[in-house]
Structure 1
Amino acid sequence: MTRRTTLIRNFSILALIIAAALQVSGALTVNPRPDPVSTGGLAPLEVHGAAARGIVERLQGHYRQLRFDDSLSEKVFNRYLRDLDPQRLYFLQEDIQAFDRYRLVMDDQLRKGDLAAGYDIFNLYQQRVSERLEYLLAKLEKGLDELDFGTDGSVLLDRSEEPWAASPEAMDDIWERRLLNAVLSMRLDGVEDDEIADRLKRRYSSQLNRIRQNGPEDVFQIYINALTQTFDPHTSYFTPHNSENFNISMSRSLEGIGAVLQAEDEYTKVVRLVPGGPAAKAGQLKPADRIVGVAQEDQEIVNVIGWRLDEVVNLIRGPKGTSVRLEIIPAGSASEHNTRVVVIERNKVMLEEQAAQKRVIEIERSDDEPLRLGVIRIPAFYLDFDAYHRGDANYTSTTRDVSRLLQALNDEEPGIDGLVIDLRNNGGGSLHEATQLVSLFIGGGPTVQVRDARGRVQVERDKVPGSLYSGPMAVLVNRFSASASEIFAGAMQDYGRAVIVGDYTFGKGTVQTLLPLGHGQLKLTQAKFYRVSGSSNQHLGVVPDVELPYLVDREEIGESALPNALPWDKIDPTQYKPHFNLTPLFSTLREQHDQRLEVNPEFVYVREQLALLQEQREKKAVSLNEKLRRQEQERLENRRLAIENNRRKATGEELLKDMAELRALDEQRALDPESANDGEDDSPDPYLLETGQVLADLVQLLQDKQVAKSN
């Protein structure tokens, strides 16, 4: 044996000894892939593994720098189960125990592009959903007469925190109660039993057909988004098909209804309406409405519960001039089975229809001449990027339009005593335009700070000296004022340039970047906005100085309602010089405001409606006894009728005789755009009028302060 051969043999023996020792100590222990739970047939495509590895790599650049470890794995695991079965209506306790083998290995698998856990869990999910729908259809085949509506039982309205069902029999009981509730809800809504059975059969059959059509791409998208949205709700994966839809919508060339939608549980939920879009103009669709059915023109409505968001969007989209019918569960509805149908004509959302508009309103004062207030409504922060980059001197932008409107208001005789910037329902848009708009009112200085994932802070500044308007101002906002709107409102608040009136704003203070992948795209949160004072708008929103009551549930709408939203925080303020210190005046403004609201019939009505809605939201369960449910509904309807008539009596309108007249009025309000315009017609709405009163109070306080200073 040569010396070289001996050395090789000795090194081989040494390597074996080291390997054996490490295996004993656990250092080289390799976690084998867990045995699958399900026998389902969906499996990832080859391209999905590479895409998963690319997404994991890009997530290292996320603003929230999470480590890929067991803690992250557990978060993804819980998020995936929540996305699939949010109300714990399908998986059994034994299923969850079987899935536990994946709880701490998802991070390792995803780094390697191994998607076994996601597909295995989904396959069993698909099986369990099919079992439940088949159970319901079998119950309906026996007839509604077989159901017991004299029971003393109840059904839970929210099962998201309940234990998983311990057995198939326990799950049967849950679903029988849900079926009883569905039938009861429709009976109380005046639907005949034959129609109830027919509707439910169509609904459950549609859901069953849909669940059986899922393919590998569907599973990949759901599983990967459980990963991305563990980081934050705005980090999302788009499949190649959805990437195309996203790009179309961003270019504003999409022909549809002009609504921003999101998936929530098994429903498609309206997040906001695009200003100037068909849905906003029609006035029939509202944020927080849930879409459960879609029909083309006069065709039969297709049930879309359980459908993917992109599939629902494809059904709603269509050629300009055609109509789409949407079956919706109205926001705040006590039952998911009390639906109504709205009709919207499709059209393009044109940039010019989002343009800022002006008006002048007069605010009556008890002992003085009426105050003339200019109002500029800004539906969106828009910029014609193509014309801007071409160097077109006539490019369209928010700031240029507002400048022109301000100049026109300044040139009017008589002039204006104050200015209201109305940002209600303004979901944002161009950051450039938001900072430019700030510059019209501050005369130089920082406008917003942007902090990236590495902690580096960039300050955007107004470099143009002087301001276009320096008089008293109010900014009117609501829960749907978001992003760029919050940047502008926050700057006005920090500089003391305006009193902020309305509701807490949406609370979106993050910046996203679209990154291409070999298979689809990733929208990644990479930075965060901060105000010049150092405070973030994220999660909290802009807190109004004077608050108005709105029929909006902040637990359902806004950044704080989204799982894993980045938290509120603050950084060091940048150097800026406030124009005024309005804070000492706020207590007086609020006191005078509260006195008006106590006797204003419109806001008394809103407060009473809010109290009633809050009571309904706090209900954990409802009775399944038909007699008790009818009594409960009668009490609820009597309260609603009393609230409506209290307002009508205070405003001198004719009182309604009974619930039949109130239902007819509700239907008219739902279908008549003029009754749901939120101040977009020629007559000022109560919110704008009260904002005008607050601004008039501010004008008076500033004048008194100036007189006292002069004396």
Structure 2
Amino acid sequence: MKTVSKPVMSRARKFAIGVLAILPVVGIGTSLHASAEVDSYEAVSPSIEQARANILISRQLQFTHFREQTIDENLAEEVFNDYLDYLDGQRVYLTEKDIESFQPLKEQMAASLRTGQLQPGFDIYNRVQKRIVERMDYALGLLEDGVDSFDFQTDDQILLDRSEASWEPDQAALDELWNRRIRNAVLGQRLNGSSDDEILKVLTRRYESQRKRISQMRSEDAFQAYMNAFAGTWDPHTNYFSPRNSENFNINMSLSLEGIGAVLQSDNEYTKVVRLVPGGPAARQGQLGPADRIVSVKQEDEDQPVNVIGWRLDEVVDLIRGPRGSTVTLEVVPANASDETVTRTIAIKRDEVKLEEQSASSEVIELDRGDETYRIGVIDIPTFYADFQAMQQGDPDYKSTTRDVRKLLEDLKEEQNVDGLVVDLRNNGGGALHEANDLVGLFIDQGPTVQIRSSDNQVQVLADQDPSVAWDGPMVVLVNRMSASASEIFAGAIQDYGRGLVVGSQTFGKGTVQAVRSLNHGQLKITQSKFYRVSGGSTQHRGVIPDIEIPSRIDTTRIGEDALERALPWDQIDSVPHARYFDFSGVIDQLRQRHSDRFAETPEFGLLQKEIDFLKEQRKTTTVSLNEDQRRDYQDQLESRQLTIANARRELRGDEPFDSFQAMEDHQEQQAAAANGEDEELDFIVREGGHIMADMLELDRRLATILPAGTVAAKAE
């Protein structure tokens, strides 16, 4: 079976291990702290097996990747820069002098990558690890006098994101930078209510832990980091897996492990949440979200959490995994946090992700519109799934997306007597490709559904061969930025066929297919083909543009294919002949106007827009003050605005307002499990999808049964 790969959601490149770095923090002092308990970092060296793997990776990338490029000096410079970004993405360990000393290594890099000479990459890696040890020693030295020795009455500020900053010129400048970083960490925890004694313990434990991690680095860590910087210059979905990470990747693909149901990736200093598995423990618990960054992990039988900043991804995954029924507590920096010192604690009970909890489901909503009441069927599809094992065993009742949706449609038509259909694909990250193809077939008599172009320019067309139709009435497909891969194939086909309207926000744009190839040492996941709609345009990079747009809280600068460096571009091939069931051009302007007028009078939309504006303002903040009074004022303003929005939403529902920000947070934690990951935005957007459906029927009654009405086979424009 071919499976649509899941998307990556980050501006940072996705790698197979954790970046060796630390949480932004800072203080005062000049002495280096020598830890007697931790050995100094010992340089690592490449092995013969790694050198052979490097040669195989070079050949695979040059001759089988979808993007054609050669390993020359220009590409080597990209590898060099990406490697430094990976090892010191916030530019807090290396100085300008270090970078200058790497120039001879950069000049050797092109030839070295072609021939398996790994020493340039290892030399850079070893230097960075030694610099990290020096910074840890410096940070621990600053903490020796206690956090009350820091001055929080200055007008100093700190840059939140240093990924584009200049390298500091020397060690003295780095000392000053770290002074600010530690003050920022102390101040952030003070504002979270921690005492100075607690802060001192937490930060000391953090830096000692990270220093210890550096002393345990292995040759494989350097090789993974270097090969991923190399592979990532082709595209962000091409990755190298070490032998251990290959095992983890294969286990994850078989869904045989119990855990929290979250896909993770490395993002500079942190392990970041990519997406939640539908129906999994984290999705059901409701507090963890995409782009949240994990700071620490605590087991239920342990008193203290383990700080995981700077840990390898595989080791963080091992900590989070555990027996079914046990609880793991994550400390995370929320995606919408004002800065990295703002964290929240989330307790999740581990469980296995069950297929039935990912299954499609339906409901019927009634909309009173003047003299008429419309019954709208809503089908929610969390993922494109199939029970492959049952299918291979010949079970006639095996579960799959298409089979389940067909049954739901039969019920909606025969028992519920609905007037229209809304298919909800929001937050659906994809899944089985053949299920996307078959699902399109439930809504058309037959025809092509998607084109797949390989690296040798051969085009394969998947098609629905079944002339039967499960639903021939009008439909709306809801999408958002988290709709990816198979979701985009389905939504794009419905749009191209004129079978329904796509409503929501621009989708993720994951339109590539990866294959995993074994090496002598580990595996290479490599991009080998791209998806194209039947109209010829790729879903890659651009995704699906809705016919009617609804704004979203999701930060598109951080989540989405077009937010990834070196993502393959959008392009176009020839369209394939396909039917066009309805031309919406005659009514789309009126539909958009009705939607706009309705939203202008919808209180929920007004609150959503206020929240979006608030989040955009926060994202524009590039620095924060290290003055305690100013910082408290800033935090009070943020909390006040969030509380105002939350209380306005409660007022709409007839609930008592919260009397404080803390009361709001306590309530959200208590309600997280019951909420099952849903929120008010989802409910009112589903209703709006129903209203758009009703508008369609009112404006053109031909939509009531559009399929049999003069289907014309033609090429899409």
State the shift of 1:71 in Å.
1.2
**Counterpart-to-counterpart distance in 2, 1:651 and 1:313:** 40
Structure 1 equivalent of residue 635 of structure 2: 633
Q: Residue type matched to 1:561 in 2? A: A
Task: Label 1:671 to 1:47 Cα distance change in 2 as closer, same or farther (>3 A).
Answer: farther
- The 1:127/1:278 distance shift into structure 2, 3 A limit, reads same
Instruction: Return the offset for 1:230.
Output: 1.0
Q: How much does 1:649 deviate? A: 4.3
1:154 matched to 2:157: yes
Return closer, same or farther for 1:321/1:637 CA change in 2, 3 Å cut-off.
closer
Amino acid paired to 2:685: Y
Does 2:353 correspond to 1:327? no
1:478-493 mapped onto 2 (5 Å cutoff)? 478-493=480-495
Indicate the SS of the match to 1:441. coil
Amino acid at match of 1:585: V
Matched residue type, 1:334: S
Query: Which residue is equivalent to 2:575?
Result: 573
Q: Structure 1 residue 92 and structure 2 residue 86: aligned?
A: no
1:461 aligned residue:
463
The match for 1:344 among 331, 334, 348 is: 348
1:264 to 2:262 alignment:
no
Higher helix share: 1
Give the direction of change, closer, same or farther, for the CA distance of 1:604–1:678 in structure 2 (3 Å limit). Answer: farther
Letter in 2 for 1:362: E
Q: Match of 1:387?
A: 390
Task: From 301, 306, 309, give the equivalent of 1:305.
Answer: 309
What whole-Å deviation, never above 9, does each CA across 1:274-328 have from its counterpart, x for those lacking one? 0111111111211111111111113121000011111101111111121111111
Shift of residue 84 of structure 1? 0.6
- Aligned residue for 2:579, secondary structure, equals coil
Q: Which residue of 2 aligns with 1:664?
A: 663
Alpha-carbon distance in 2 for matches of 1:706, 1:320: 48
From 673, 694, 697, the counterpart of 1:696: 694
Is 2:367 aligned against 1:363? yes
Match for residue 314 of structure 1 among 318, 324, 337: 318
Equivalent of 1:61 in 39, 59, 64: 64
CA distance in 2, matches of 1:98, 1:421: 57
Q: Give yes or no for contact 2:153–2:628 (8 Å, CA) kept in 1.
A: yes
Contact residue 436 and residue 486 of structure 2 kept, 8 A: yes
1:218-273 Cα shifts (integer Å, max 9, x gaps): 11111101111111111111111111111111111111111111111111111111
Matched residue of 1:635: which SS?
helix
Q: Are residues 212 and 40 of structure 1, via their aligned partners in 2, closer, same or farther at CA, if it must alter by over 3 Å?
A: closer
Deviation per CA, 1:67-105, whole angstroms, max 9, x where unpaired?
111111111111101111111111100111111112233
Does the aligned pair in 1 maintain the 2:148–2:196 contact within 8 Å?
no
**Which whole-Å CA distance do the structure 1 matches of 2:665 and 2:41 have between them?**
50
SS in 1 for 2:580: coil
* 1:536 alignment counterpart: 538
SS of 2:92 mapped into structure 1: coil
Relative to the length of structure 2, the TM-score reads 0.90
What count of residue pairs does the alignment treat as equivalent?
665
Tell me how far apart the structure 2 counterparts of residues 556 and 433 of structure 1 sit (CA, whole Å): 29
Q: 2 CA distance for matches of 1:577 and 1:569?
A: 23
Correspondence 1:370-519 to 2 at 5 A:
370-412=373-415, 415-519=417-521
Query: Which residue is equivalent to 2:189?
Result: 186
Which residue of structure 2 aligns with residue 103 of structure 1?
Answer: 106
Residue equivalent to 1:245: 248
Aligned-pair RMSD on alpha carbons? 2.1
Structure number with higher relative contact order (C-alpha < 8 Å, ≥ 6 residues apart): 2
- Structure 1: which 5+ residue stretches go unaligned? 1-37
1:353 corresponds to which residue?
A: 357
Q: State the AA in 2 paired with 1:321.
A: G
Quote the Cα distance in structure 1 between the aligned partners of 2:540 and 2:234: 15
Q: Distance in 2 between matches of 1:643 and 1:668?
A: 15
Q: Does the 8 Å CA contact 1:669/1:676 hold for their aligned counterparts?
A: no
Shift in alpha-carbon separation, 1:671–1:204, aligned structure 2, 3 A:
farther
Alignment map for 1:268-307 (pairs within 5 Å): 268-299=271-302, 300-307=304-311
Q: 2:208 aligned to 205, 218, 239, which one?
A: 205
Opposite residue 592 of structure 1, the aligned amino acid is R
Q: What secondary structure does 2:372 align onto? A: coil
- In the alignment, does 2:607 pair up with 1:605? yes
d(CA) in 1 for partners of 2:335, 2:585: 36
Question: What's the secondary structure of 2:328's corresponding residue?
Answer: strand
User: TM-score of the superposition, structure 1-length normalised?
Assistant: 0.90
Deviations 1:588-626 (A, max 9, x none): 222221222223222211211111111111112111112
